[in-house]
Amino acid sequence: MRIATYVHEGRRLCGVVEDAVVRPLPDGTSPVEALGVSPVGPAVPLADVRLLPPLEPGTVRDFVTFEEHVEGVRRSVDGAAGVPDAWYDAPTFYFTNPYAVVGPYDDVPVPPGAQVLDFELEVAAVIGREGRDLTPEQARDHIIGYTIFNDWSARDLQSREMRVGLGPCKGKDTAATLGPYLVTADELDAYRDADGFLRLALTAEVNGEVVGKDLLSNMSWTFEEMVAYASRGTVVRPGDILGSGTCGNGGCLAELWGVRGRQDPPPLKPGDTVTLTVEGIGSTSNTVVEGTDPVPLPAARRRTRERP
Protein backbone atom coordinates (compact mmCIF):
# COMPACT_ATOMS: atom_id res chain seq x y z
CA MET A 1 0.00 0.00 0.00
CA ARG A 2 1.27 3.48 -0.92
CA ILE A 3 -0.22 6.33 1.04
CA ALA A 4 -0.08 9.93 -0.16
CA THR A 5 -1.03 13.24 1.39
CA TYR A 6 -1.99 15.75 -1.27
CA VAL A 7 -3.93 18.83 -2.27
CA HIS A 8 -6.66 18.56 -4.90
CA GLU A 9 -9.07 21.37 -5.78
CA GLY A 10 -8.07 23.25 -2.65
CA ARG A 11 -8.62 20.32 -0.27
CA ARG A 12 -5.96 18.53 1.74
CA LEU A 13 -6.53 14.77 1.53
CA CYS A 14 -4.97 11.44 2.37
CA GLY A 15 -5.29 8.72 -0.20
CA VAL A 16 -4.09 5.41 -1.61
CA VAL A 17 -1.87 5.50 -4.69
CA GLU A 18 -2.65 2.93 -7.38
CA ASP A 19 -0.40 3.14 -10.45
CA ALA A 20 -0.77 6.74 -11.73
CA VAL A 21 -3.86 7.69 -9.70
CA VAL A 22 -4.73 8.38 -6.08
CA ARG A 23 -8.02 7.47 -4.38
CA PRO A 24 -9.05 9.54 -1.36
CA LEU A 25 -9.62 8.05 2.08
CA PRO A 26 -12.36 9.32 4.42
CA ASP A 27 -11.86 12.88 5.67
CA GLY A 28 -9.70 13.01 8.76
CA THR A 29 -7.86 9.76 8.05
CA SER A 30 -4.27 9.97 9.25
CA PRO A 31 -1.58 8.39 7.06
CA VAL A 32 -0.53 6.16 9.97
CA GLU A 33 -4.16 5.03 10.37
CA ALA A 34 -4.73 4.26 6.69
CA LEU A 35 -4.14 0.51 6.82
CA GLY A 36 -7.46 -1.28 6.52
CA VAL A 37 -9.35 1.90 5.56
CA SER A 38 -11.14 1.78 2.20
CA PRO A 39 -11.06 4.66 -0.29
CA VAL A 40 -14.32 6.58 -0.56
CA GLY A 41 -13.99 8.67 -3.69
CA PRO A 42 -13.14 8.46 -7.39
CA ALA A 43 -9.57 8.08 -8.56
CA VAL A 44 -7.72 11.28 -9.45
CA PRO A 45 -4.61 11.34 -11.69
CA LEU A 46 -1.45 12.04 -9.72
CA ALA A 47 -0.61 14.64 -12.36
CA ASP A 48 -3.60 16.68 -11.14
CA VAL A 49 -2.63 16.87 -7.46
CA ARG A 50 0.14 18.50 -5.44
CA LEU A 51 1.91 15.93 -3.29
CA LEU A 52 2.67 17.06 0.26
CA PRO A 53 4.93 15.30 2.76
CA PRO A 54 3.18 11.96 3.36
CA LEU A 55 2.86 12.78 7.06
CA GLU A 56 3.53 15.50 9.61
CA PRO A 57 5.95 13.76 12.00
CA GLY A 58 5.69 14.24 15.73
CA THR A 59 9.44 13.80 16.13
CA VAL A 60 12.33 13.25 13.74
CA ARG A 61 15.25 11.15 14.94
CA ASP A 62 18.04 11.13 12.40
CA PHE A 63 20.51 8.27 12.84
CA VAL A 64 23.93 7.79 11.29
CA THR A 65 24.19 4.11 10.36
CA PHE A 66 26.42 4.08 7.25
CA GLU A 67 30.09 3.69 8.18
CA GLU A 68 31.28 4.93 4.77
CA HIS A 69 29.33 8.17 5.20
CA VAL A 70 30.73 8.80 8.67
CA GLU A 71 34.28 8.37 7.42
CA GLY A 72 33.90 10.68 4.43
CA VAL A 73 31.92 13.46 6.07
CA ARG A 74 34.08 13.49 9.18
CA ARG A 75 37.07 14.23 7.00
CA SER A 76 35.16 16.93 5.12
CA VAL A 77 33.36 18.69 7.99
CA ASP A 78 35.67 18.07 10.96
CA GLY A 79 39.01 17.53 9.22
CA ALA A 80 39.47 14.21 11.09
CA ALA A 81 40.24 10.79 9.66
CA GLY A 82 38.53 7.48 10.35
CA VAL A 83 35.40 6.65 12.33
CA PRO A 84 35.12 7.45 16.07
CA ASP A 85 35.31 4.30 18.20
CA ALA A 86 32.11 5.33 20.01
CA TRP A 87 30.16 5.15 16.74
CA TYR A 88 30.34 1.35 16.84
CA ASP A 89 28.75 1.14 20.29
CA ALA A 90 25.16 2.04 19.42
CA PRO A 91 23.06 3.53 16.58
CA THR A 92 23.54 7.22 17.42
CA PHE A 93 20.92 9.81 16.44
CA TYR A 94 20.02 13.44 16.95
CA PHE A 95 16.62 15.12 17.01
CA THR A 96 15.94 17.44 14.08
CA ASN A 97 13.13 19.85 13.21
CA PRO A 98 9.71 18.32 12.41
CA TYR A 99 8.44 21.76 11.37
CA ALA A 100 10.98 21.97 8.53
CA VAL A 101 9.46 19.10 6.54
CA VAL A 102 8.76 19.83 2.85
CA GLY A 103 7.09 17.86 0.10
CA PRO A 104 8.72 15.62 -2.51
CA TYR A 105 8.64 18.25 -5.27
CA ASP A 106 8.73 21.50 -3.28
CA ASP A 107 11.40 24.14 -3.77
CA VAL A 108 14.05 24.31 -1.03
CA PRO A 109 15.47 27.70 0.03
CA VAL A 110 19.12 28.19 0.85
CA PRO A 111 19.36 28.47 4.69
CA PRO A 112 20.02 32.05 5.87
CA GLY A 113 23.73 32.80 5.80
CA ALA A 114 24.72 29.48 4.22
CA GLN A 115 27.23 29.19 1.38
CA VAL A 116 27.80 25.41 1.34
CA LEU A 117 24.47 23.62 0.84
CA ASP A 118 24.28 19.83 0.57
CA PHE A 119 21.66 17.08 0.33
CA GLU A 120 21.55 13.77 2.21
CA LEU A 121 19.98 10.63 0.76
CA GLU A 122 18.24 8.62 3.48
CA VAL A 123 15.29 6.33 4.07
CA ALA A 124 13.03 6.90 7.07
CA ALA A 125 11.01 4.35 9.01
CA VAL A 126 7.61 5.56 10.23
CA ILE A 127 6.23 4.44 13.59
CA GLY A 128 2.64 3.19 13.55
CA ARG A 129 2.19 1.93 17.14
CA GLU A 130 3.31 3.31 20.47
CA GLY A 131 6.00 1.36 22.27
CA ARG A 132 8.59 1.59 25.01
CA ASP A 133 11.72 -0.45 25.79
CA LEU A 134 11.12 -2.58 22.71
CA THR A 135 13.24 -5.47 21.55
CA PRO A 136 14.19 -5.49 17.85
CA GLU A 137 11.76 -8.37 17.34
CA GLN A 138 8.92 -6.36 18.88
CA ALA A 139 9.95 -3.22 17.02
CA ARG A 140 9.14 -4.71 13.61
CA ASP A 141 5.43 -4.63 14.43
CA HIS A 142 5.72 -0.94 15.37
CA ILE A 143 7.02 0.17 11.95
CA ILE A 144 4.13 0.97 9.64
CA GLY A 145 6.22 1.85 6.61
CA TYR A 146 9.01 3.78 4.95
CA THR A 147 9.59 6.95 2.96
CA ILE A 148 12.49 8.85 1.37
CA PHE A 149 14.17 11.39 3.64
CA ASN A 150 16.46 14.18 2.40
CA ASP A 151 18.19 15.88 5.34
CA TRP A 152 19.28 19.16 3.68
CA SER A 153 22.50 20.40 5.28
CA ALA A 154 24.33 23.73 5.35
CA ARG A 155 27.83 22.34 5.81
CA ASP A 156 29.51 25.66 6.60
CA LEU A 157 27.02 26.42 9.39
CA GLN A 158 27.18 22.82 10.62
CA SER A 159 30.98 22.76 10.78
CA ARG A 160 31.12 26.01 12.77
CA GLU A 161 28.38 25.29 15.28
CA MET A 162 29.49 21.73 16.07
CA ARG A 163 32.77 23.04 17.44
CA VAL A 164 30.74 23.95 20.53
CA GLY A 165 30.35 20.23 21.28
CA LEU A 166 26.62 19.88 20.63
CA GLY A 167 24.83 18.39 17.66
CA PRO A 168 23.97 20.30 14.48
CA CYS A 169 21.29 22.98 14.79
CA LYS A 170 20.91 25.74 12.17
CA GLY A 171 23.04 23.72 9.78
CA LYS A 172 20.08 21.34 9.40
CA ASP A 173 17.08 23.47 10.32
CA THR A 174 15.61 24.86 7.09
CA ALA A 175 14.28 21.87 5.13
CA ALA A 176 13.86 18.09 5.25
CA THR A 177 12.17 16.36 2.34
CA LEU A 178 9.78 13.46 2.91
CA GLY A 179 8.06 11.53 0.15
CA PRO A 180 6.79 10.85 -2.31
CA TYR A 181 4.67 8.33 -0.38
CA LEU A 182 4.49 6.35 2.81
CA VAL A 183 5.07 2.79 1.55
CA THR A 184 3.76 0.23 4.02
CA ALA A 185 6.24 -2.25 5.43
CA ASP A 186 4.63 -5.30 3.82
CA GLU A 187 5.38 -3.91 0.34
CA LEU A 188 9.11 -4.03 1.05
CA ASP A 189 9.30 -7.45 2.71
CA ALA A 190 10.44 -9.00 -0.57
CA TYR A 191 13.63 -6.89 -0.38
CA ARG A 192 14.60 -8.11 3.11
CA ASP A 193 17.81 -10.13 3.27
CA ALA A 194 18.71 -12.97 5.64
CA ASP A 195 20.06 -10.53 8.24
CA GLY A 196 16.92 -8.39 8.28
CA PHE A 197 18.24 -5.51 6.17
CA LEU A 198 16.23 -4.02 3.30
CA ARG A 199 18.28 -4.40 0.11
CA LEU A 200 17.02 -1.33 -1.75
CA ALA A 201 19.00 0.46 -4.46
CA LEU A 202 19.61 4.15 -3.70
CA THR A 203 20.50 6.78 -6.31
CA ALA A 204 21.26 10.50 -5.99
CA GLU A 205 21.31 12.89 -8.95
CA VAL A 206 22.11 16.59 -9.25
CA ASN A 207 20.77 18.25 -12.38
CA GLY A 208 20.27 14.85 -13.97
CA GLU A 209 23.81 13.62 -13.31
CA VAL A 210 24.24 10.63 -11.01
CA VAL A 211 26.56 11.53 -8.12
CA GLY A 212 25.84 8.66 -5.74
CA LYS A 213 24.70 5.04 -5.62
CA ASP A 214 24.44 2.65 -2.69
CA LEU A 215 22.35 -0.10 -1.12
CA LEU A 216 20.22 0.47 1.96
CA SER A 217 21.42 -2.90 3.23
CA ASN A 218 24.86 -1.33 3.84
CA MET A 219 23.44 0.10 7.07
CA SER A 220 25.25 -1.20 10.14
CA TRP A 221 22.01 -1.57 12.15
CA THR A 222 18.54 -2.63 11.03
CA PHE A 223 15.59 -0.29 11.40
CA GLU A 224 14.21 -2.62 14.07
CA GLU A 225 17.40 -2.22 16.10
CA MET A 226 17.19 1.55 15.65
CA VAL A 227 13.59 1.61 16.89
CA ALA A 228 14.55 -0.55 19.87
CA TYR A 229 17.35 1.87 20.77
CA ALA A 230 15.11 4.92 20.26
CA SER A 231 12.49 3.42 22.60
CA ARG A 232 14.98 2.65 25.37
CA GLY A 233 13.75 4.40 28.50
CA THR A 234 11.15 6.40 26.57
CA VAL A 235 8.34 6.01 24.03
CA VAL A 236 8.05 6.06 20.28
CA ARG A 237 4.64 7.14 19.05
CA PRO A 238 2.64 6.91 15.81
CA GLY A 239 3.95 9.45 13.34
CA ASP A 240 7.52 9.52 14.70
CA ILE A 241 10.12 8.99 11.99
CA LEU A 242 13.62 7.53 12.22
CA GLY A 243 16.07 8.40 9.45
CA SER A 244 18.61 5.81 8.37
CA GLY A 245 21.36 8.38 8.12
CA THR A 246 22.99 9.23 4.82
CA CYS A 247 24.05 6.36 2.61
CA GLY A 248 27.61 5.99 1.39
CA ASN A 249 29.24 6.28 -2.04
CA GLY A 250 27.93 9.75 -2.81
CA GLY A 251 24.82 9.86 -0.65
CA CYS A 252 25.80 13.49 -0.03
CA LEU A 253 28.32 15.89 -1.50
CA ALA A 254 30.31 16.31 1.71
CA GLU A 255 31.32 12.65 1.68
CA LEU A 256 32.70 13.08 -1.85
CA TRP A 257 34.54 16.24 -0.78
CA GLY A 258 36.17 14.34 2.06
CA VAL A 259 37.26 11.50 -0.23
CA ARG A 260 38.47 13.74 -3.06
CA GLY A 261 39.97 16.50 -0.96
CA ARG A 262 38.12 19.22 -2.86
CA GLN A 263 34.56 20.47 -3.35
CA ASP A 264 33.78 18.35 -6.41
CA PRO A 265 30.89 18.41 -7.26
CA PRO A 266 30.45 21.99 -5.98
CA PRO A 267 27.98 22.97 -3.24
CA LEU A 268 24.37 23.32 -4.31
CA LYS A 269 23.21 26.71 -5.57
CA PRO A 270 19.84 28.23 -6.60
CA GLY A 271 18.60 26.50 -9.74
CA ASP A 272 20.12 23.10 -8.91
CA THR A 273 17.70 20.17 -8.76
CA VAL A 274 18.35 17.18 -6.51
CA THR A 275 16.58 13.93 -7.39
CA LEU A 276 16.70 11.01 -4.97
CA THR A 277 15.41 7.56 -5.94
CA VAL A 278 14.87 4.57 -3.67
CA GLU A 279 13.92 1.21 -5.12
CA GLY A 280 10.45 0.16 -4.02
CA ILE A 281 9.55 3.64 -2.72
CA GLY A 282 9.90 6.15 -5.58
CA SER A 283 11.64 9.47 -6.21
CA THR A 284 11.75 12.98 -4.84
CA SER A 285 12.97 15.99 -6.81
CA ASN A 286 13.56 19.39 -5.20
CA THR A 287 14.96 22.57 -6.74
CA VAL A 288 17.11 24.92 -4.67
CA VAL A 289 15.94 28.55 -4.62
CA GLU A 290 17.24 31.76 -3.07
CA GLY A 291 16.77 32.02 0.69
CA THR A 292 16.54 34.98 3.03
CA ASP A 293 19.34 36.94 4.65
CA PRO A 294 20.00 36.14 8.33
CA VAL A 295 18.72 38.57 10.92
CA PRO A 296 21.88 40.04 12.56
CA LEU A 297 22.62 39.05 16.14
CA PRO A 298 25.51 40.12 18.39
CA ALA A 299 28.31 37.81 19.40
CA ALA A 300 28.32 36.57 23.01
CA ARG A 301 28.90 39.30 25.55
CA ARG A 302 31.73 38.82 28.03
CA ARG A 303 30.10 38.94 31.45
CA THR A 304 31.60 39.74 34.85
CA ARG A 305 30.24 36.56 36.50
CA GLU A 306 28.90 38.48 39.46
CA ARG A 307 27.21 36.45 42.15
CA PRO A 308 24.29 37.54 44.38
pLDDT in tens, 10-34: 999 999 999 999 999 999 999 999 9
Q: Rounded to an integer, what distance in angstroms lies between the CA atom of residue 233 and that of residue 4? A: 32
Q: Mean per-residue pLDDT for 103-114? A: 98
Q: Mean per-residue pLDDT for 223-230? A: 98
pLDDT digits (tens, 9 = 90+) for 265-282: 999 999 999 999 999 999
> Are the beta carbons of 14 and 29 closer than 8 angstroms?
yes
Collect all residues with Cβ–Cβ distance below 8 Å to 43 and sequence separation of at least 6: 18, 21, 22, 23
* 55: nearest Cα among 152, 129, 146: 146
Provide the 8-state DSSP code for 224: H
Number of CB atoms found within 10 A of residue 203's CB:
19
CA dihedral 70, 75, 78, 84 (to 10 degrees): 50
Q: Which CATH class is domain 2-51?
A: mainly beta
Q: Return residue ranges of the chain for CATH 2.30.30.
A: 2-51
Reported as a pLDDT band with limits 50, 70 and 90, residue 76 is confident
CATH fold of 60-289, please?
Fumarylacetoacetate hydrolase; domain 2 (3.90.850)
Segments of 58-142 assigned E as strands? 60-63, 93-96, 101-102, 108-109, 117-118, 121-127, 131-132
Residue 79 has pLDDT above 80, yes or no: no
Question: How far is the CA of 245 from the CAs of 41, 91, 119, 150, 239, in angstroms?
Answer: 37, 10, 12, 10, 18
pTM for this entry: 0.97
Residue 41 has pLDDT above 90, yes or no: no
Q: Return residue ranges of the chain for CATH 3.90.850.10.
A: 60-289
Q: Rounded to an integer, what distance in angstroms lies between the CA atom of residue 197 and that of residue 214? A: 14
Question: How far is the CA of 68 from the CAs of 83, 186, 214, in angstroms?
Answer: 9, 29, 10
Average pLDDT, the chain: 96
Q: Mean per-residue pLDDT for 84-105? A: 96
**pLDDT attached to residue 82:** 84
* 114: nearest Cα among 301, 298, 299, 288: 288
Report the DSSP beta bridge partners of residue 2: 17, 183
